[in-house]
Amino acid sequence: MKHLSEYRDGAKALKLAAEIARICKGNWAIMEVCGGQTHSIIRNGIDQIVPQNIEMIHGPGCPVCVTPISVIDKALEIAARRNVLFCSFGDMLRVPGTTSDLYRIKGGGGDVRIVYSPLDAVKLARKHPTREVVFLAIGFETTAPANAMAVKIAQQQDIHNFSVLVSHVLVPPAIEAIMNSPGNRVQAFLAAGHVCSVMGFHQYHRLASQYSIPIVVTGFEPLDLLDGIRRAVVQLEAGQSHVENAFPRVVTEAGNEVAQATIDEVFETTDRAWRGIGVIPQSGWRLKPKYAEFDAERRFAVEDIAPEESNACRAGEVLRGALKPHQCEAFGKQCTPRTPLGATMVSSEGACAAYYNYGRFVHP
Amino acid sequence: MKPSTLNIASPLCPVPLRDYPQVILAHGGGGKLSAELIEHIFAPAFANEHVTLLSDSTPLCLPSQRIAVSTDSFVVQPLFFPGGSIGDLAVNGTVNDLAMSGARPMYLTAGFILEEGFEMEQLIRIAKDMGRAARDAGVAIIAGDTKVVERGHGDGCYINTSGIGVLPAERKIAVDQAKPGDAVILSGSVGDHGVAIMSVREGLDFESPILSDCASLADLVQKMLDTSTNIRAMRDPTRGGVAMSLNEIAAASRCGIELDDECIPIKEPVRSACEFLGLDPLLVANEGKLIAIVAKSDADQVLNTMRAHPLGCDAAIVGHVVEDDNQLVVSRTAVGTKRIVSIPVGEQLPRIC
């Protein structure tokens, strides 16, 4: 962490921006996949210093935003039950379900606790053997290893009052879905650095080749993002489409093989609904049958809950890159961080929240 | 109940509190045990000429026609944290609220809500911390109250403090007084308290220990007031952090504020912790820092005075007040662009990945 300032050097950033302006001749639309990248771009004003003929499109990579409302509703139903101790990452507490959110459930007497790791939830299960401890296991490939480990530990230690409500999603199928969607404008991707730190980037070669798109593995600091954009533009101008690693201090081609093995042990791929987008085939993970005992959906019989989304919320279009947050009619009016209609305005990684919190005077 | 572990050091009388290592309901009943709580814990810890009276109210002489009054309640968890305790906070929080209006804090009251079963030894530590903090701040705790709630109906110990301070004549220091061109001065690094609390609350071990900055700002403020008559507004950026305080000033004064990200002092361990947790240091709580809005002409002079004080040695001019009908607080980023510094909706929540 002590080397962070190297990647925030203003003079170097402006030099990179000038370099991008020099090489950029055409009009290009580049999608940053990850919500963390979106926030860094808006918070640091990267979109203000790249040439106007580069459009940054914000991708679906916010784990809070894409968690389907059906999962939120199931979480609310379980968390409200007596004898349940419901654990979640903090970001999820404000996400609106059909009629409520986890904060309200907590206020109404539900035992909802913020944890920083699923392993903390396992500890709570050990500490409270007479209570049902449930962990809301959401996120991309980054959070999956720890969630898988929590299930493994619970099984190894005979902790039977622990279960997980799983809603894991995967980046490569989302990229594929975006490329296949009608009206897609994305011409290059900045792949999420921390996802690749777990999974490597070997699986991106096929996508780059099949869809003829440059994919640049990119970090989160201003210089990381500008270097990612620069490399994408170089490829676009040259008509190339291959995978580049602009985050080598963290990411390797193979990724973290121990973490991948843990995921493979516990999870298997499944079709998964993305909030605002719909079902993407084979885009998520669920527990393997041998870990079914730890599946909260089965344990609490909440499979059939049917949610309702707000008609005014256009988060799905934002997540697909078809709409900028400020182009939504509800943005900043009916929909603010205080009165969010959709998860993209709630999450600290959501594109709408980024525009509202940091960029309202640029995108009024 | 015959415990042997309670260690009540002199000057606190060991009898009969030694028989009650934990608070019981009768300690709040107004009877003998309540009186003994005051006599053996609070009065010695707070030690000043007024608390020995133990009467229903305390007569005071105030040397001014203009006084400032403030009250605040403290419900922090955990009660003891790196760099302080709920006792320090309860005194310094109200002292600082008084000081921010330019008042010289003089007197405090202290109300305790204790949970049945609360460890007496912890109460003694808290009372001692309050006494020390009050002496350091130059205020006297002159009245108090204790209530005990049943086990499970409290969180160990809650404290309310109210304070009285004396305002200087002919001075108006308020959040609606900022004017375009004024300098924004921050007395030191931001985020220390909030991150210190989070580190113990959530069991996060950081490489470098992060201590709360909890402190009384009364002396620093007096020296600033002696230096300049053009201090327009002051705020101690507690909950909601610097972002909240500056937005309040901008809204009340109907102006904008422009900051410079690179001028805002942040300790490296705090910056790293915030990066790790996905928190914005400008939104994290402080308990020993102040923001001053000062006329441009006096800004350097006030800054020098602050830097000569132990609590202001890292003070910096971090921005200035501008004309802006939208009353936005914005900050210049390292790459020369601007971002909005907005108010948090609720508590900051750590990010997922």
Whether residue A350 lies inside any domain: the answer is yes
CATH of the domain at A39: 3.40.50.11750
Q: Is the pTM of the predicted complex or chain greater than 0.95?
A: no
Q: Are residues A162 and A68 in the same domain?
A: yes
Q: What is the band of A2 on the pLDDT scale with cuts at 50, 70, 90? A: low
Residues of A in Cβ contact (< 8 Å) with B349: 89-91, 93-94, 114, 348
Distance from the B279 Cα atom to the nearest Cα atom in chain A, whole angstroms? 9
CATH of the domain at A132: 3.40.50.11740
Q: Are residues A166 and A178 in the same domain?
A: no
Q: Are residues A346 and A281 in the same domain?
A: no
Q: Are residues A149 and A163 in the same domain?
A: yes
**Pairing relation of β-strands A54-61 and A243-245?**
unpaired
Q: What is the band of B13 on the pLDDT scale with cuts at 50, 70, 90? A: very low
Q: Are residues A86 and A230 in the same domain?
A: no
Residue B52: per-residue pLDDT = 60
Whether residue A135 lies inside any domain: the answer is yes
pLDDT at B3 over 50: no
pLDDT at A5 over 70: yes
Residue B83: per-residue pLDDT = 93
Tens-place pLDDT, residues A213-249: 999 999 999 999 999 999 999 999 999 999 999 999 9
Residue A60: per-residue pLDDT = 87
Last residue of a domain, one of A245, A272, A287: A245
pLDDT at A153 over 90: yes
Whether residue A192 lies inside any domain: the answer is yes
Rounded distance, CA A80 to CA A75, Å?
8
Residue A1: per-residue pLDDT = 47
Residues of A in Cβ contact (< 8 Å) with B334: 8-10, 13, 44, 222
Whether residue A112 lies inside any domain: the answer is yes
Q: What mean pLDDT comes out for the span A283-298?
A: 96
Q: Are residues A138 and A234 in the same domain?
A: no
Residue B6: per-residue pLDDT = 42
- Strand order of the β-sheet with A188-192 is A54-61, A28-34, A188-192, A215-218, A243-245
Q: Do B349 and A17 touch (CB under 8 A)?
A: no
Based on its alpha-carbon atoms, the radius of gyration of chain A, rounded to whole angstroms, reads 21
Whether residue A180 lies inside any domain: the answer is yes
Whether residue A37 lies inside any domain: the answer is yes
Is residue B341 a contact partner of residue B334, using CB atoms and an 8 Å limit?
no
Tens-place pLDDT, residues B284-331: 999 999 999 999 999 999 999 999 999 999 999 999 999 999 999 999
Last residue of a domain, one of A201, A227, A245: A245
Q: Are residues A218 and A69 in the same domain?
A: no
Residues of B in Cβ contact (< 8 Å) with A48: 337-338
pLDDT at B105 over 80: yes
pLDDT at A157 over 50: yes
Distance from the B98 Cα atom to the nearest Cα atom in chain A, whole angstroms? 31
A112 vs A164, A168, B198, B236, CA distance in Å?
14, 21, 18, 32
Whole-number mean pLDDT of chain B? 89
Whole-number mean pLDDT of chain A? 92
Q: Are residues A216 and A276 in the same domain?
A: no
Q: What is the band of B1 on the pLDDT scale with cuts at 50, 70, 90? A: very low
Residue B61: per-residue pLDDT = 85
Q: Are residues A133 and A266 in the same domain?
A: yes
Residue A364: per-residue pLDDT = 60
Whether residue A53 lies inside any domain: the answer is yes
Residue B29: per-residue pLDDT = 81
Phi, psi of B139 (to 5 degrees): -120, 155
Q: Are residues A163 and A190 in the same domain?
A: no
Number of domains in chain A: 3
Is residue A318 a contact partner of residue A351, using CB atoms and an 8 Å limit?
yes
Question: What interface predicted TM-score (ipTM) does this complex get?
Answer: 0.77
Q: Are residues A131 and A239 in the same domain?
A: no
Last residue of a domain, one of A201, A216, A245: A245
Q: Do A2 and B328 touch (CB under 8 A)?
A: no
Q: What is the band of B10 on the pLDDT scale with cuts at 50, 70, 90? A: very low
Q: Are residues A189 and A332 in the same domain?
A: no
Is residue A163 a contact partner of residue A151, using CB atoms and an 8 Å limit?
no
Residues of A in Cβ contact (< 8 Å) with B284: none
Distance from the A196 Cα atom to the nearest Cα atom in chain B, whole angstroms? 13
Residues of B in Cβ contact (< 8 Å) with A362: 338
Residue B351: per-residue pLDDT = 64
- The parent domain of residue A293 ranges over 64-170+255-300
Tens-place pLDDT, residues A251-270: 999 999 999 999 999 999 99
Tens-place pLDDT, residues A62-113: 888 889 889 999 999 999 999 999 999 888 888 888 888 999 999 999 999 9
Tens-place pLDDT, residues B179-208: 999 999 999 999 999 999 988 877 666 667
Residue B258: per-residue pLDDT = 97
Q: Which 179-208 residues of chain B touch chain A by CB within 8 A?
A: 202, 204
Q: Do A94 and B340 touch (CB under 8 A)?
A: no
Ordered domains of chain B (ranges, CATH): 22-167 (3.30.1330.10), 182-340 (3.90.650.10)
DSSP 3-state assignment of A124?
Answer: helix
Tens-place pLDDT, residues B66-81: 999 999 999 999 999 9
Tens-place pLDDT, residues B236-295: 999 999 999 999 999 999 999 999 999 999 998 998 888 878 788 999 999 999 999 999
Residue A222: per-residue pLDDT = 92
Whether residue A2 lies inside any domain: the answer is no
Q: Please enumerate in sequence order all residues whose Cβ is within 8 A of that of A360, keeping only pairs 6 or more positions apart, or say none.
A: A326, A332, B328, B340
Q: What mean pLDDT comes out for the span A39-59?
A: 92
